[in-house]
Structure 1
Amino acid sequence: MSETTHDGGVALGAAPSPDEGLTPARLADKYGLSVSGARPSLSEYIRQLWGRRHFILAFSQAKLTSQYSQAKLGQLWQVATPLLNAAVYYFIFGVILKTSRGMTRDTFIPFLVTGVFVFTFTQTSVMSGVRAISGNLGLVRALHFPRASLPISFALQQLQQLLASMIVLFLVAVGFGNYPGLSWLLIVPTLVLQFLFNTGLALIVARMGAKTPDLAQLMPFVMRTWMYASGVMFSIDRMLAGRPEWVIRLLQYNPAAIYMDLMRFALVDDYGSSHLPPHVWVAALGWAVLVFVGGFVYFWKAEERYGRG
């Protein structure tokens, strides 16, 4: 073929492109292209997360450092806040309402402080997780990285905060006659399982909060209701003595109650196994695996939608 140029000459016509007539999908397949921001496979997503492990740790440490940077007492508030909450709960529930039924003062105070510290770990993980995406849209839209890094790093931040507070918890336990023993070794698996459970919850509420930012305003009421139903300020089996057995078991198998009671069993000498539901370790493991795996998959399924709209 030939065509006439503007000066009257003849030029050879351009050969047709080998890609002419190909659909966009076929072009992408031919040249190995993929949609920008598309969700990777689950195995690839896990591999990407592992590659960002240093970022996750550094981000959690930076958030922890900056959390109280404007306060004069700084990081001391990590310990002071749950201790003040425990003092208020002791006055209201221990002194006024007498929820310490069957427990001496020396048993009830470490029982209460342990419950407050452990539940606060779950509470703050959920509250920070619900804003993990919606509160960091600038970062989500500016950089390409697995979005699960954010809720995981927030859960890790709360774990670091709890570990710093554990020193005070140990001092309270020892101060009321609960000295270190073999049962204290149970603290490690309890915290590992609770961390997995909390991370799964953070992933679930992070996806929900990304779609519905108003959920962050509702969550404090949800967490407060959960706290009152979990036996933070009272022993479930003693408070509900005489009630139907299924009601007691229902509240005892509540995951927040399980992790609190396991920690109390480890730290408080007078809080024996009789206060724990049957197969409590199986239940603790089951909740951790179910919520962590389910939460991770639930979050991953919406990976390509975070930060859009």
Structure 2
Amino acid sequence: MLGIPERALRNGMVLPPVTERPRTQGRSGLDRWTMLTLYGWWSLVFYRVFADLASEVRRYYISYLWWVFEPVLNMAVLYLVFGIFMNRDTPNFVQFLLVGVSVWKWFGSTVANGSNSIINSKGIVLQAYLPKSFFPMVVALTDYFKFLIVLGLLLLFLWATGFPPTRAYLALPALMAAQFLVCYGLAAVLAAVVPFVPDMRFLVATALQVGFFVSGIFFDIRTVLLPKHMLVFHLNPMATLIAGYRSVLIEGAWPDAQALAFAAAVGLVLCLVAALLLARLDRVYPRIL
């Protein structure tokens, strides 16, 4: 499998395939080498993602079913508290809240886990060479897979409570792509810095708690914020993405194209900054971990 030693696989450690630049000076030779390298890198990423998912479910008695039960329990609690006991006057508040919480959970989980991905992989970093972008990418894809399960359950709940699918669902891939860029980009930037400043892990946790309450999860920004504050609020890409998901899933409307483009642009900038940091510090991490 991709030149990975069987012994390394049995020990749970993934080593990259050994590839060398072709001696030929032709462009076709370099292009072929680049394609083989990218193929090997992505193959390792997906192998590690599935290995981590399999390792996670082995720790639970109910195995893969926990990925279904956990979001179902969370949705049930929110429904009981806000839909029945508190009896909020806001129309469709339970659906409104569930969409916001589900989207934020993907973001928060990726940033929290991804920011520690390099420092938590000290054993691999010290024993074998891997491009350091490998570690936050594995976390981002793992949490994306879990979000797909949550999204499926959320859609079933919305359909059962009077919110059928509409043509606006065609915008979901664009929303998820923009959010993936934001999630991975921020997680990778933090992953590049945390090994040098380990205390930043606590700041990340605090910032995520603050972000949870200021990203419009519990309130509709269109009815709560003053017009002069809207611009500042929309500088938060997660706030615009959450509003976009609600437009699609609850209102059956297309998301704001400018807001979506802004969120995607922020994600691309974060990914670029992360790539530059990780490339520059790539050989430094083994000396400081």
Amino acid at match of 1:208: V
8 A contact 2:106–2:144 mirrored in 1 = yes
Match of 1:60 among 35, 49, 53: 49
Q: How does 1:74-223 map to 2 (within 5 A)?
A: 74-89=63-78, 103-104=90-91, 107-223=92-208
8 A contact 1:122–1:198 mirrored in 2 = yes
Bigger fraction of residues in helix: 2
Task: Give deviations 1:150-195, integer Å, cap 9, x for gaps.
Answer: 1111101111111122210110110111111111111111101111
8 A contact 1:151–1:202 mirrored in 2 = yes
Query: Is 1:289 paired with 2:278?
Result: no
Measured in 1, the distance between the counterparts of 2:276 and 2:263 equals 20
Bigger Rg over Cα: 1
Show the counterpart of 2:5.
none
Task: Give deviations 1:103-155, integer Å, cap 9, x for gaps.
Answer: 32xx2222211111111111111111111111111101111121111111110
Show the counterpart of 2:40.
51
Instruction: Return the offset for 1:45.
Output: 9.9
Measured in 1, the distance between the counterparts of 2:132 and 2:43 equals 15
8 A contact 1:127–1:219 mirrored in 2 = yes
SS class of match (1:265): helix
RMSD of Structure 2 on Structure 1 (CA)? 2.7
Amino acid at match of 1:300: A
Aligned residues: 256
**TM-score using structure 1 length:** 0.74
Measured in 1, the distance between the counterparts of 2:230 and 2:56 equals 38
Which of 1 and 2 has higher RCO (CA within 8 Å, sep 6+)?
1
SS class of match (2:61): coil
8 A contact 1:230–1:252 mirrored in 2 = no
Instruction: Return the offset for 1:284.
Output: 2.3
Measured in 1, the distance between the counterparts of 2:260 and 2:37 equals 32
Q: Which moved more, 1:281-290 or 1:126-135?
A: 281-290
Q: How does 1:257-296 map to 2 (within 5 A)?
A: 257-269=239-251, 279-296=258-275
Amino acid at match of 1:204: V
Show the counterpart of 1:228.
213
Q: Percent identity between the aligned chains?
A: 23
Task: Give deviations 1:283-307, integer Å, cap 9, x for gaps.
Answer: 1222222222222222222111112
Show the counterpart of 1:27.
none
